[in-house]
Chains A and B, each alone.
Chain A
Amino acid sequence: MVNTENKPGTSIRFRFVRVIAIVLAIGTVLLSVIIGTYEKKALRESLREDGQSLAHFIAKLGKEALVAQDTVILDSIAHDAHKEDIAYTLVYDIQGNLLTSQYASLNYRSPIINNILATLPREIDLPEIINHLKRKRHILEISSPVVVDITHVGNVVVGMSEHVIRRQILTTILFIVAVNLSVISVLGGVLFSVSRKILFDPISALSESTTQLARGDLSVRVNIPASGELKTLLANFNHMVADLKKAEDDRIKLEEQLRHSQKLESVGRLAGGVAHDFNNKLTVILGYAELAGRIQADNPNLAGYLREIARAAEHSRDITAQLLAFSRQQIASPKPVAINQIIMEAGKSLPRLIGEDITFNFVPGEGLWIVKIDPVQLDQIIINLAVNARDAMPDGGAFSITTANVSIDRLSYLLKNPDARHGDYVEIVFSDSGTGMDQEVMKHIFEPFYTTKGVGKGTGLGLATIYGIVTQNNGFISVDSKPGLGTVFRIYLPTHSGGYIVEVPQAEQNQTGRGVVLLVEDEEMVRQMTGHMLEEMGYVVKEAATPREAIQIASNPQTPLDVVLTDVVMPEMNGAQLMRIIHGKRPELQVLYMSGYTSDLIARKGIIQDGVNFIQKPFDMKTLNDKLSQAIKLQGGGFPGSDQAKLLK
């Protein structure tokens, strides 16, 4: 939980003021105590001196009256001596008799006298009042002898009231407090004002900004003058928020891309599912069209119709193939290739494809690393991007392909491209000077059936296919484009550490074959059509509608078999499982898998594993024959089952 609000009294401003106030209050108290103690001592001493002077003066002034026992004069002297800090003045004769009267002796203007008298009974006499005062009140009593010549004739006693001291100390303390308060007010005001400018305002602004930040506002910035560490802090905060904003923007962008990828993934899965059934049906259509064409070759009209059927079916197959390619489920047989060589080969036919008003330029990178990819897929990429470039440059322009080795190791690059991974790649850059794209278009270009071309001019699968192929081959793709500034596609394909094989083109073969084929296919129409094809080509066919039936056939050692042609996805068990059982009994038996789409059963992410024979549905007789022939050759360099085939035939 984010604490976004300060409770009253918890702000640093308030606490600062409180601490200052407490420190000053303690300081004031200590100062008051220290000064009060010293002042009390000094005032007591001063009071004592005053008392002594007064007692001495009264003794001197009243000695004649004392000798004459004139109490009226003594009363007058005692009374006249009264000042505020005197509680009483007493004159005694040498015998200790008190000569002054109560009202003359007591200073009724002293608050302590009136206070104490109010509590005493009216009958109480002066000596008792004096004793009471000395017991209850702070009285400093000073005595001075009355001496006439050298004769001691009596004593003057002066009672000094310490309440004056207390009041003086209180006044001093009040003065200290007042001065301190004034100083505190002035200094505190200045300190607070200065602190507010250099400390509190930046901290408050920072606090408010962090609150806004905690609430998710990444646009917040602290724009307040500061200096020293606070300046650095605020600058770092702003920088941090800017980084957060950038990271947040990147995250949003990545999420967008992730959603886009997931969307493509789901579309791909849907396409894969559709393609399975669709290719089975196309296999039957194409197969029978081809077979029918063989039979009715002499009827030109019928042959034409059959060719149209075949063309339509082939076109449908291509669409399915592209869908599969986009969904990374196209059956591919990657091999180590030299990219430059393939581009160069493909480049020969590109001028025809893109037209004469577009100049094509290929800049091959030197020492280019080897890449493992199905060359057919690479051709698809080149052709699709060339066609796109052409369509983007209706009035001509330039189209170029460059290749280079790159090592992806920068985090920033990886963050921008969610598909990217660390590693070494061959970069193939396709640049055109065409119309370019805006951001909205770029968001959708890899979606299947998304096209900006006119109706009938594009399937909307070109870039989706490229995307599928690249990701199927563990690569990734990026696009840079702006309206009017052309488009650059960068395709990154991971390098292959091994060498590559230069393929020798095979001699044209007849569409005839020999051998016994165990055909395993749960789709009856496909099975029947394939059986017809095989027989038409000269093969002996043993059909099995289910894997169980196939096992039964293969289990009989008397049954001659050269190769197993089996569907991959079947009820009960898949093709691979079937072959493990059959190989348990007849390990020498070769197998050719056929499937309308790939699955992890025989391929991982659509890539056929090395040593696996596979034929993509739908297929024509020639391809089927080629694949079967290769498989049978692998079994023993000839047609080991030919005798049995003949027998069966």
Chain B
Amino acid sequence: MPIAARYRFIAVTCFLSLIIAGEARAEKKIGAFLFSSETRYEVAYRGFRDQLAEEGFKEPGTTFSLYNANGNKATASELVNKLAAAKMDLYFTAGTSASVALSRAIKDMPIVFSVVYDPVKAGIADSWENSGNNTTGTSTRVPMTKIMEALKKLKNVKKLAVLYSPGELNSEQLVRDLKDVQQEFGFKVLPVPLTKIEEFPAILPEVMRTSDAVYVTGSNLVDSQIGYIVEQARKNRVVTLTHLEDLVEKGVLFCVSIDTYQIGRLAGAKAARILRGAKPSSIRIESPPTYSIHLNVKTATMSQIPIPPEFMAIVRKKIQ
């Protein structure tokens, strides 16, 4: 190699190294916003950070600021304003409520959302392929047909009640998705709108009495009453199902879900691309491609619900 060429190579290498090192060393500020301390949000956030760390975005070069509204809307609104004023390099959100709120407040900085069931129906993005704005992220959405196929293996259901919270877009969309497949799977969806805690004791006994299975959506209100829901279901030997794995750990019979940690990691990967200069709108919104079925054995035992072998065969995780 001629000397000039050698120096030129060294110089270029050094320059590239400097660029890469400088890129890695450049201080990045990331603000994370969680609506509440739901396990899935925290797990997703953990996956997000792990992925970023693997891609070189870790402290001290990158600073993370975590904001948790603890389920309080007023606090959430306050934190949103605070985050907007903080001028972060990138924002991370977990949960539909947090994502919607932040995406409405911040339009000039990238937002990577996660644990959002349907960002398009929630109004965060224009489409799954191109958000058309400063957002991109990952979804918890499991194709409803996957969930219903699992349910069919467990029990022949005629009436499927859906516990949801009107106003929570994520929750409402799930009802629509269920309605879309009801004819295909031969059951009738019975939406159960719940907006206040006191409605649970008023309506749940009747829901449990008249339904074959109850779908638990991931609204904050429903989450707060999960213990009571599980208790009523066990008492009435009603099958409960969801797409959220953490609710199975709290007593729901089974779920067909995406690993929340993977959702977080996928969001982290998208964030790394953005930090490296990609436009959020150019990054496709997606869910991790793998689904898993979790079964709460304790609930199955207490509810005396027989679990057919073909269902057991597809269960990935048993929670005792």
Chain A residues touching B, majority SS? helix
Q: Is the CB of B193 within 8 A of A79?
A: yes
Is residue A278 contacting chain B, with contact meaning CB distance below 8 A?
no
Is residue B20 contacting chain A, with contact meaning CB distance below 8 A?
no
Pick from B175, B190, B198, B207: contact of A72, CB below 8 A. B175
Interface string of B163-187 (1 = CB under 8 A from A): 0001100001001100100000000
What range describes how many residues of B lie at the interface?
Answer: 20 to 34
Is residue B37 contacting chain A, with contact meaning CB distance below 8 A?
no
Q: Is the CB of A79 within 8 A of B195?
A: yes
Is residue A175 contacting chain B, with contact meaning CB distance below 8 A?
no
Q: Inside 8 A of A76's CB, which chain B residues have their CB?
A: 166-167, 172, 193
Q: How many A-B residue pairs have CB under 8 A?
A: 50
Residues A75 and B193 in contact in the complex (CB < 8 Å), given A108-B199, A114-B202: yes
Interface string of A114-138 (1 = CB under 8 A from B): 1001000010000000000000000
Complex alpha-carbon distance, A1 and B192, angstroms: 84
Is residue A41 contacting chain B, with contact meaning CB distance below 8 A?
no
Pick from B161, B166, B202: contact of A108, CB below 8 A. B202
Q: Is the CB of A108 within 8 A of B206?
A: yes
Complex alpha-carbon distance, A209 and B192, angstroms: 81
Pick from B193, B206, B209: contact of A104, CB below 8 A. B193
CB nearest neighbor in B for A118: B206
CB nearest neighbor in A for B207: A103
CB nearest neighbor in B for A79: B193
Residues A72 and B172 in contact in the complex (CB < 8 Å), given A80-B195, A101-B191, A122-B209: yes
Is residue B210 contacting chain A, with contact meaning CB distance below 8 A?
yes
Q: Is the CB of A108 within 8 A of B195?
A: no
Q: Inside 8 A of B210's CB, which chain A residues have their CB?
A: 122
Q: Inside 8 A of B198's CB, which chain A residues have their CB?
A: 109
Q: Is the CB of A72 within 8 A of B176?
A: yes
Is residue A384 contacting chain B, with contact meaning CB distance below 8 A?
no
Looking at A70, A72, A75, which has the most chain B CB atoms within 10 Å of its CB? A72
CB nearest neighbor in B for A77: B166
Interface residues in A76-96 by Cβ distance below 8 A to B read 76, 79-80
Interface string of B208-219 (1 = CB under 8 A from A): 011000000000
Complex alpha-carbon distance, A103 and B200, angstroms: 12
CB nearest neighbor in B for A126: B190
Q: Is the CB of A80 within 8 A of B166?
A: yes
Q: Is the CB of B190 within 8 A of A101?
A: yes
CB nearest neighbor in B for A73: B172
Query: Count the A residues whose beta carbon is within 8 Å of the partner chain — how many?
Result: 17
Complex alpha-carbon distance, A9 and B168, angstroms: 71
Is residue A71 contacting chain B, with contact meaning CB distance below 8 A?
yes
Q: Inside 8 A of A108's CB, which chain B residues have their CB?
A: 199, 202-203, 206
Q: Inside 8 A of B199's CB, which chain A residues have their CB?
A: 108-109
Is residue A261 contacting chain B, with contact meaning CB distance below 8 A?
no
Query: How far does the Cβ of A48 sit from chain B's closest Cβ, in whole Å?
Result: 26
Is residue A629 contacting chain B, with contact meaning CB distance below 8 A?
no
CB nearest neighbor in A for B176: A72
Complex alpha-carbon distance, A122 and B188, angstroms: 14
CB nearest neighbor in B for A103: B192
Q: Inside 8 A of A73's CB, which chain B residues have their CB?
A: 172
Q: Inside 8 A of B190's CB, which chain A residues have their CB?
A: 101-103
Interface residues in A327-386 by Cβ distance below 8 A to B read none
Q: Inside 8 A of B175's CB, which chain A residues have their CB?
A: 72, 75
Complex alpha-carbon distance, A70 and B199, angstroms: 23
Q: Inside 8 A of A80's CB, which chain B residues have their CB?
A: 166, 195
Query: How far does the Cβ of A127 sit from chain B's closest Cβ, in whole Å?
Result: 14
Complex alpha-carbon distance, A397 and B193, angstroms: 131
Complex alpha-carbon distance, A79 and B175, angstroms: 15
Pick from A71, A103, A122: contact of B203, CB below 8 A. A103
Q: Is the CB of A75 within 8 A of B209?
A: no
Interface residues in B138-170 by Cβ distance below 8 A to A read 161, 166-167
Complex alpha-carbon distance, A122 and B190, angstroms: 13
Looking at A79, A114, A117, which has the most chain B CB atoms within 10 Å of its CB? A79
Complex alpha-carbon distance, A80 and B198, angstroms: 14
Query: How far does the Cβ of B209 sit from chain A's closest Cβ, in whole Å?
Result: 6
Complex alpha-carbon distance, A75 and B189, angstroms: 13
CB nearest neighbor in B for A101: B191
Complex alpha-carbon distance, A7 and B191, angstroms: 72
Looking at A73, A79, A103, A104, which has the most chain B CB atoms within 10 Å of its CB? A103
CB nearest neighbor in A for B198: A109
Q: Is the CB of B195 within 8 A of A103?
A: no
CB nearest neighbor in A for B175: A72
Query: How far does the Cβ of A459 sit from chain B's closest Cβ, in whole Å?
Result: 120
Complex alpha-carbon distance, A70 and B192, angstroms: 15
Complex alpha-carbon distance, A611 and B25, angstroms: 181
Q: Is the CB of B195 within 8 A of A75?
A: no
Complex alpha-carbon distance, A75 and B164, angstroms: 11
Query: How far does the Cβ of B215 sit from chain A's closest Cβ, in whole Å?
Result: 13
Pick from B161, B166, B206: contact of A75, CB below 8 A. B166
Complex alpha-carbon distance, A73 and B206, angstroms: 22
Q: Inside 8 A of A104's CB, which chain B residues have their CB?
A: 191-193
CB nearest neighbor in B for A78: B193
CB nearest neighbor in A for B173: A72
Q: Inside 8 A of B172's CB, which chain A residues have their CB?
A: 72-73, 76
Q: Inside 8 A of B195's CB, which chain A residues have their CB?
A: 79-80
Interface residues in B90-120 by Cβ distance below 8 A to A read none
CB nearest neighbor in B for A117: B206
Interface residues in A403-431 by Cβ distance below 8 A to B read none
Interface string of A492-528 (1 = CB under 8 A from B): 0000000000000000000000000000000000000
Complex alpha-carbon distance, A117 and B205, angstroms: 11
Interface residues in A530-577 by Cβ distance below 8 A to B read none
CB nearest neighbor in A for B206: A117
Complex alpha-carbon distance, A176 and B309, angstroms: 68
Query: How far does the Cβ of B174 sit from chain A's closest Cβ, in whole Å?
Result: 9
CB nearest neighbor in A for B192: A103
Complex alpha-carbon distance, A551 and B191, angstroms: 150
Pick from A70, A79, A109, A122: contact of B202, CB below 8 A. A109
Q: Inside 8 A of A122's CB, which chain B residues have their CB?
A: 209-210
Complex alpha-carbon distance, A73 and B164, angstroms: 12
B residues neighboring A (CB under 8 Å): 161, 166-167, 172, 175-176, 179, 189-193, 195, 198-199, 202-203, 206-207, 209-210
Can you show 24 pairs from A to B with CB atoms below 8 A apart?
A71-B179, A72-B172, A72-B176, A72-B179, A72-B191, A75-B166, A75-B175, A76-B167, A76-B193, A79-B195, A101-B191, A103-B161, A103-B191, A103-B192, A103-B203, A103-B207, A104-B193, A108-B199, A108-B202, A108-B206, A109-B198, A117-B206, A122-B209, A122-B210
A residues neighboring B (CB under 8 Å): 70-73, 75-76, 79-80, 101-104, 108-109, 114, 117, 122
A72-B172, A108-B203 known; 5 new pairs, CB 8 Å cut-off, are A72-B175, A79-B166, A103-B190, A103-B191, A109-B199
The 3 A-B residue pairs whose C-beta atoms are closest, nearest first, are: A76-B166, A79-B193, A108-B203
